[in-house]
Amino acid sequence: MQFLAFISFTLIVAVISYLKTRSTKESTLDGYFLGGRSLTAGVIAGSLLLTNLSTEQIVGLNGSAYQSGLSVMVWETLAAIAMVVTAIYLLPRYLKGGITTVPQFLKERFDTSTKTITSALFLTGYVVVLLPIILYSGSVALSGMFDVPELLGVSKSTALKLCIWGIGIVGSIYAIFGGLKAVAVSDSINAIGLLIGGLLIPVFGLMLIGDGNVWNGLSILTTEHPEKFKSTGEFTDPVPFYTIFTGMMLVQLFYWGTNQQIIQRALGAKNLKEGQKGLLLASFIKVLGPIIVVLPGLIAFYVFKGNLGSADDAYPMLVKKVLPNAWVGFFAAVLFGAILSSFNSVLNSSVTLFGMDIYKQHINKTASDKVIVKYGKLFGIVLAIMAMFIAPLIEDAGSLFDYLQEVNGIYSIPILTIIVVGYFTKQVPAIAAKIGLITGCLLYILSQFVLQPYFVEKALSNAEASGITSETALALVEARAYPHFLDIMAILFVLNILIMLIIGKLRPKKVPYTIKYTNQVDIVPWKYVKTASIGIIIFVVAIYIYFA
């Protein structure tokens, strides 16, 4: 019955996606890569939310909440403000220039080599980091939920491989053969299911605590563990509160405003109004995100008395305990949709970057739209197969997952820096962008993979030599031994901008840059964009004040 519900919901999404997208001309660049520039606010918002929400976030963020409390909600709440900034300042510029990819703007603003370097950084991050991890984490969740090893009579490792290839093949069909519109439509349908299913877990959890009454459960939870409901958290938390004012906002701006896999949804908007409404609708819902990705972790802490072996077990164990059997198939299908969304969005963005910024630019400059789409699809197939082969290796990699997450910081801030400088200055030359990219990447590598381990190890050795042995004290020593990685990002962001501005002063562009309106879509802004944005920001601040 559970498996039947899973298959039924998944097929319904596939059929609706096909019916909604069969009229889109996917032999054209805009048709395939941007859904024909026809996406509306609801589709954009749903696709943004589900692309962002994946198994690693649902499981990982709830695990962090189980361990550290409400302070980890910053990953959700601050994202709302980043989307507001994107809607007001970045999206109008993107749509005015009619760009298909973020690196495409960098070519127009700086030069071709700057665009190529940036595309290569994006593709490397997607292929080596994101795709295999999405496949692996999603497969672990589904394999455990359906108990695939016992169901098929195979080993855990074999079951994992089967799930990886299953997810990879289905996701590839959506992303490679359907284009962005198929991805976006399926995302918006699954987003509804994810919101319903995701809300059921905390509801059932609070009912368990409150003997059938949700509000009693919430009252008991907040009374019993008030320390878990502090929005500011502690200095030793994964994300100390003060980092909101250093690198956290920069990370969010990169992700929501410049990351190709995310911003591509807004670039496909039928006009600026729909794009802004889609971003702001998503940002409002994002503020409510902690109900799904933080509250269950707090409930799990109460239910299991903080005795779970691993914090990452919090969400799966809570789902298993509170979800009625009749809902398991539906929730698994929704979770499957979230996994697919993350996988196919990254893959679709990789295909777009290769087709537009590599193939057309360096391999076949005279290629027609149809040829570019064709070779983009072939490249996507190769990437998908590579990711499916790499993903099982993560099983025996130990701390590789944490390591790969940190690797993303190598390219995120340098790319954000050159985009910000590119849009908000007119005479900074291409050489400054190249230097900004290279120095940003190298300095972050030096900081996080050379200096940080040295200083942390030295501080811990001195602490132990002084007789400090408690875990709490050692955690504080480790936190103070070296600046938080978000602080490092903020420092490098400012440093990179200064370097680029100095170069721009010494060697300015001969012809100042101006954005040319391509008339591809209407760029009249939504008349309520500022009012809605102010309301969202006030909402976020109020939440922090209330839980402070």
* Predicted confidence (pLDDT) per residue in 125-153, tens digit: 777 777 887 888 778 777 776 778 887 88
Q: What is the mean pLDDT of residues 521-529?
A: 88
* Cβ atoms < 10 Å from Cβ of 303: 19
Structure tokens at 381: 């197939």
**Average pLDDT for the chain:** 80
Banded pLDDT at 96 (limits 50, 70, 90): confident
CA torsion 63→57→141→307, rounded to 10°? 0
Beta bridge partners of 522: 271
The confidence score (pLDDT) of residue 185 equals 60
Banded pLDDT at 11 (limits 50, 70, 90): low
- DSSP states along 250-271: HHHHIIIII-HHHHHHHHTBSB
The confidence score (pLDDT) of residue 45 equals 86
437, 369: one domain? no
Reduced to 3 states (helix: H, G, I; strand: E, B; else coil), residue 247 is coil
Structure tokens at 1: 């019955």
Is 39 in contact with 181 (CB distance < 8 Å)? Answer: yes
203, 334: one domain? yes
* Cβ atoms < 10 Å from Cβ of 541: 12
93, 174: one domain? yes
254, 127: one domain? yes
281, 365: one domain? yes
User: Which residue's entry shows tokens 């190890």?
Assistant: 457
The confidence score (pLDDT) of residue 416 equals 92
Q: What is the mean pLDDT of residues 393-420?
A: 73
- DSSP states along 509-532: -SS---PPP--SSB-PPPTTHHHH
Is 61 in contact with 299 (CB distance < 8 Å)? Answer: no
CA 78, 55, 306, 475 dihedral sign is negative
Longest dimension (CA), the chain: 72
368, 412: one domain? no
Q: Cα(159)–Cα(148) distance, rounded to whole angstroms?
A: 6
- DSSP states along 89-143: IIHHHHHHHT-SSHHHHHHHHT-HHHHHHHHHHHHHIIIIIIHHHHHHHHHHHHH
Structurally, the chain folds into a number of domains equal to 2
- CA-to-CA separations, 496 to 414, 426, 492, 508, 509, in angstroms, rounded: 7, 17, 6, 17, 18
Is it the case that residue 429 has pLDDT exceeding 80?
yes
210, 344: one domain? yes
The confidence score (pLDDT) of residue 238 equals 74
Is it the case that residue 112 has pLDDT exceeding 50?
yes
Please name which of 224, 217, 189 lies closest in space to residue 201, comparing C-alpha atoms.
217
388, 413: one domain? no
The confidence score (pLDDT) of residue 26 equals 46
Is it the case that residue 413 has pLDDT exceeding 70?
yes
CA torsion 344→136→336→155, rounded to 10°? 140
Condensed to tens digits (0 to 9), the pLDDT of residues 238-256 reads: 778 888 888 889 989 998 9
pTM of the model: 0.80
* Cβ atoms < 10 Å from Cβ of 546: 9
142, 166: one domain? yes
| Residue partners of 505: CB distance under 8 A and separation at least 6 | none
418, 471: one domain? yes
Q: Cα(76)–Cα(70) distance, rounded to whole angstroms?
A: 11
Share of the chain above pLDDT 70, in %: 84
Structure tokens at 534: 């102010």
Instruction: Tell me which H or E stretch contains 308.
Output: none
CA atoms within 13 A on the CB side of 204: 16
283, 324: one domain? yes
| Residue partners of 328: CB distance under 8 A and separation at least 6 | 2, 5, 145
**Residue range of the domain that includes 510:** 400-516
Condensed to tens digits (0 to 9), the pLDDT of residues 199-253 reads: 889 999 999 999 889 999 999 998 888 888 888 777 777 778 888 888 889 989 9
Instruction: Tell me which H or E stretch contains 34.
Output: none
Q: Cα(209)–Cα(234) distance, rounded to whole angstroms?
A: 26
497, 349: one domain? no
What backbone torsions phi and psi does residue 195 show, to the nearest 5 degrees? Answer: -65, -45
Is it the case that residue 5 has pLDDT exceeding 70?
no
The confidence score (pLDDT) of residue 207 equals 93
Q: Cα(360)–Cα(30) distance, rounded to whole angstroms?
A: 14
Q: What is the mean pLDDT of residues 41-48?
A: 82
Burial class (CB in 10 A: 0-12, 13-18, 19+), 16: middle
Condensed to tens digits (0 to 9), the pLDDT of residues 311-343 reads: 777 887 788 788 877 677 777 777 777 777 777
Q: What is the mean pLDDT of residues 417-441?
A: 92
Q: At what angle do helices 485-506 and 430-446 cross, to 10 degrees?
A: 150
Condensed to tens digits (0 to 9), the pLDDT of residues 345-387 reads: 677 777 777 887 788 878 887 878 778 777 877 888 888 888 8
Structure tokens at 36: 């024909």
Q: What is the mean pLDDT of residues 493-505?
A: 94
CA 476, 403, 74, 529 dihedral sign is positive
The CATH number given to whatever domain includes residue 385 is: 1.20.1730.10
